[in-house]
Amino acid sequence: MKKLLGVLMVTLAVLAAGCDKLASKTPSFNNTDVTGLDYAKGFSLTDHTGKPRTLQDFKGKLVVLFFGYTQCPDVCPTTMAEMAAVLKELGPSAKDVQVLFVTLDPERDTRELLAAYVPAFHPSFIGLYGDKEATARTAKEFKVFYAKAPSGDDPKNYTVDHTAGSYVFDREGKLRLFVRHGQGPGPLTHDLRQLL
Averaged pLDDT for residues 167-196 = 93
pLDDT value for 12 = 42
pLDDT value for 25 = 63
b or e along 154-170 (b: 16 or more beta carbons within 10 Å of the residue's beta carbon)? eeeebebebbbbbbbbb
Domain ranges of the chain: 32-36+43-195
Residues 6+ apart with CB under 8 A from 158: 148, 149, 150, 151
| Fold for the domain defined by 32-36+43-195 | Glutaredoxin (3.40.30)
162 is in an annotated binding site: yes
- 51 CB-contact burial (10 Å; exposed 0-12 / middle 13-18 / buried 19+): exposed
Q: What CA–CA distance (Å, rounded) separates 173 from 59?
A: 6
Average pLDDT, whole number, for the chain?
87
- 138 CB-contact burial (10 Å; exposed 0-12 / middle 13-18 / buried 19+): buried
For 3-51, the pLDDT digits (tens) are 444 433 444 444 444 444 444 467 789 999 999 888 887 789 999 999 9
Position 195 confidence tier, pLDDT thresholds 50, 70, 90: very high
Which amino acid makes up residue 126?
I
Output the CA torsion 127→133→136→138 (10° steps).
-60
Closest CA to 166 of 174, 177, 156, 155: 177
190 is in an annotated binding site: no
Closest CA to 185 of 95, 93, 79, 101: 79
Residue pair 171/69 in contact by the 8 Å Cβ criterion: no
pLDDT value for 20 = 46
19 is in an annotated binding site: no
Element counts in the chain: helices (H) and strands (E): 5, 10
